[in-house]
């Protein structure tokens, strides 16, 4: 009997144990996302509804601005020609919907737009309604790219949202090289409840009937 209880507890523990290896969910550099111009030749900007894992919105869809060829500032060294400006015709946003639950890290590059005031160069990062971080800066004569890293715990179906804030004036901060890593998968609350209920059912069944070891099905 003790062996059966031990086995059930071990099975539940194995289900709850986080995965040991980090998993890269996506690494988006926006390089081949300019419609009709996959090599991003020349210089310019355009608005798209989808850029790899990112979708324009939520709320008012002002598109995702892809900017390339140094039309409003230089890309960071070694990051290609294309990046996102998060103020298209006004403050804009883009989101990614988590497919699984767990502990995540989002890495990305940030730069204020050159020659734009700090109050117009703000990007907020949300997990649904929760603010994970605010990134801002005074735009000087050239881009100033810095690496950012944000850790958070998220559940499947929640949206990770980049959102421009401050002055809504078609000029805003830049984002590039967005990388989402799942560090460890954790069960969702519903899964925990099912496991607890399942263990309870096993215990109840064992109290009701003396089941010889090896004949109790945990399935
Ligand atoms: Ca890029
Ligand atoms: Ca702005």
Tell me the pLDDT band of 10, cut-offs 50, 70 and 90.
Answer: very low
Number of Cβ atoms within 10 Å of the Cβ of 156: 11
DSSP per position, 43-70: -EEEEESEETTEEE-SSS---EEEEETT
Q: Tell me which ligand sits closest to the C-alpha of residue 51.
A: 1
Task: Give tens-digit pLDDT for 109-133.
Answer: 999 999 999 999 999 999 999 999 9
> Tens digits of per-residue pLDDT, 163-184?
999 999 999 999 999 999 999 9
Q: Is the pLDDT of residue 201 over 60?
A: yes
Residues 114 and 176 in one domain: yes
Q: Residue 60: what pLDDT? A: 83
Residues, CB-to-ion distance under 5 Å, ligand 2 = 87, 120, 167, 169, 172
Q: Measured in angstroms, how far is the CA atom of residue 192 from the centroid of ligand 1?
A: 40
Are 87 and 172 in the same domain? yes
* Domain limits for position 191: 1-18+187-207
Question: Separation of 27 CA from ligand 1 center, angstroms?
Answer: 11
Q: How far is the CA of 140 from the centre of ligand 2 (A)?
A: 15
Same domain, 7 and 56: no
Q: What sign results for the dihedral spanned by CA atoms 149, 88, 127, 116?
A: positive
pLDDT at 212: 56
Residues 118 and 103 in one domain: yes
What is the Cα 84 distance to its own chain's centre? 16
pLDDT band at 26; cut points 50, 70, 90: very high
Q: 66 and 46 in contact (C-beta within 8 Å)?
A: yes
Q: For residue 219, is it within any domain? A: no
Same domain, 141 and 196: no
**Which band of pLDDT confidence, cut at 50, 70 and 90, is reported for residue 206?**
low
| 213 assigned to some structural domain | no
pTM of the model: 0.78
Task: For 72-95, write each residue's pLDDT tens digit.
Answer: 999 999 999 999 999 999 999 999
Cα(38) to ligand 1 centroid in Å equals 12
Angular region, 80: left φ>0, alpha ψ -120 to 50, beta rest: left
Judgement on whether residues 201 and 129 belong to the same structural domain of the protein: no
State pLDDT tens for residues 145-156: 999 999 999 999
Same structural domain for residues 91 and 160? Answer: yes
Quote the ligand 1 centre to 29 CA distance (angstroms).
4
Residue 214: inside a domain: no
124 in the same domain as 194: no
Structurally, the chain folds into a number of domains equal to: 2
Can you give the pLDDT at residue 67?
A: 97
Same domain, 157 and 177: yes
pLDDT(190) > 80: no
Confidence of residue 219 (pLDDT cuts 50, 70, 90): very low
Q: 158 with 172, same domain?
A: yes
Q: Check whether 57 has a pLDDT greater than 70.
A: yes
Assigned domain for 44 exists? yes
69 and 172 assigned to the same domain: yes
The reported pLDDT for the residue numbered 187 is 67
CATH number where 160 lies: 2.60.120.260
Ligand nearest to the CA of 28: 1
Same domain, 97 and 118: yes
Structural domain contains residue 168: yes
Does residue 144 sit within a domain?
yes
């Amino acid at each position: 009997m003790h062996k059966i209880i031990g086995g059930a507890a071990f099975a539940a523990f194995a289900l709850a144990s986080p995965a040991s290896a980090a998993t890269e969910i996506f690494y988006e550099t926006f390089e081949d996302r300019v419609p009709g111009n996959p090599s991003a030749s020349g210089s310019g900007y355009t608005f798209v509804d989808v850029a790899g894992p990112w979708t324009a919105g939520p709320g008012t869809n002002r598109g995702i601005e892809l900017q390339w060829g140094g039309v409003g500032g230089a890309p960071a060294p070694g990051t290609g020609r294309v990046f996102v400006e998060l103020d298209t015709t006004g403050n804009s946003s883009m989101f990614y919907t988590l497919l699984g639950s767990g502990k995540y890290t989002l890495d990305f590059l940030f730069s204020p737009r050159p020659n734009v005031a700090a109050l117009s160069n703000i990007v907020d990062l949300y997990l649904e309604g929760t603010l994970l971080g605010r990134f801002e800066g005074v735009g000087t004569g050239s881009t100033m790219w810095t690496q950012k890293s944000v850790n958070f715990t998220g559940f499947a179906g929640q949206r990770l949202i980049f959102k421009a804030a401050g002055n809504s004036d078609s000029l805003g901060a830049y984002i590039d090289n967005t990388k989402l890593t799942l560090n460890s998968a954790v069960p969702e609350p519903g899964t925990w409840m099912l496991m607890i209920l399942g263990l309870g059912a096993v215990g109840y069944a064992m109290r009701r009937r003396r089941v010889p070891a090896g004949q109790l099905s945990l399935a």
